[in-house]
Structure 1
Amino acid sequence: MVSHSKNASPRADAQKNRIKIKQSAITIFKNKGLEATIEEIADHANVGVGTIYRNFGSKQELANLISYEVLNEIYKKQIEVIESDFPIEEKLYKIFDTFIYLSTEYGEIHQMVLQLLTSTIEPNPLKEDWQQKLHSLYHRLVALGQKEGIFSKENTLIQEKILINTVNPMMVKEVSAILPIEEAAVTLSKFVLNGLIIRK
């Protein structure tokens, strides 16, 4: 009978290394964003630089992976908001609030995400994936607002464009440089709602 225990250990070690590297990358990227170096991440994870390159290819690929996972976490929170019983105004505020969470919870990763999303290097699968998520999210939000009689049933695509261009991590980052971070979500959601809500 052939034992598989000898083969299992290297695979288990490799998996542990990947987890350690990702956790360390989050810690270092939180503090330094894309200014972080592979050497700093390797030191924090207590692995060799070569181990990072073997597992992730490059700092860019590692940054993209972390950004994808962070944005996916944000998107899941936003879907929970959309599927909640809150009124549409509260939903919009809470969606803004998820971007505040991105900034307060992940520090410089917020700026790193913005840099990667606005990168002109093609292809940019991170940007494409995020744009698809935003389109889907705001399509649902506008439909709910129209169903509740809060948003006009005219110019649906324009309403979606307004949301995409104002309710995003870039806008939250810019406004939080002017206002206290805890006020940014309320202020932005009020501005957006003023342009979307039907006045009776």
Structure 2
Amino acid sequence: MKTQKMTLSLLLTAALLAACGPKVQVPPRLDLRAYQTIGFINFESRTEGNFDAYLNDRFLEEISFAQPGADILELGPVDSVLAKVGYNTLDRDAIRELGREYGLDAIIVGTLDISNIKPHVHVLHLLRDVSVRAEVDAKIKARLIDVERGTTRWTAVARDRKNVGFLSAGAGRPFFLYAKNPDKAYGELVDVLIFKVTRDLRASYVRR
């Protein structure tokens, strides 16, 4: 019995010492600084308003924070970017042409999807419109494409469901998200999505 107690005590001591060991930094899975110049095309979205613009800004902010020194060139919305090089779709040839046009080694592209909208409705009769707060499912997908080969070097997907403000739909137009203070209206949702989708860009720590 005494031997068993001593063995258990030694095991507990060893576990405590391991838990208190030094933290060692593990490099990020994706290092954007390995590329000389990376183009960023805005996330494609069917929403109107400033939700997607806010998402794009937060994505770039997180890249700058996680990997300072990464050279990112903002290209703009995909339609206008493609029009500048005479293409209609973002295929391999278009990507290669964008690389030549802007001196890029890689391009980051992505999509934003909002679905399963459960609104809390407030009808504005005079405007024939509907303004609501709503719970929404949001999903973003980001990809890093090698310009020369046209191959996907990295991809990440993030999903979340949150309550957002200033969502409306009416007059035959698609729903839009707009707010004078986007951080207050849907900042929490965007922050979660960005944190999840950029997890491979951040260094992590393990104990040894």
- What's the TM-score once normalised by structure 2's chain length? 0.25
Judging by fraction of residues, say which structure has more strand: 2
Judging by fraction of residues, say which structure has more helix: 1
Larger Rg: 2
- What's the TM-score once normalised by structure 1's chain length? 0.26
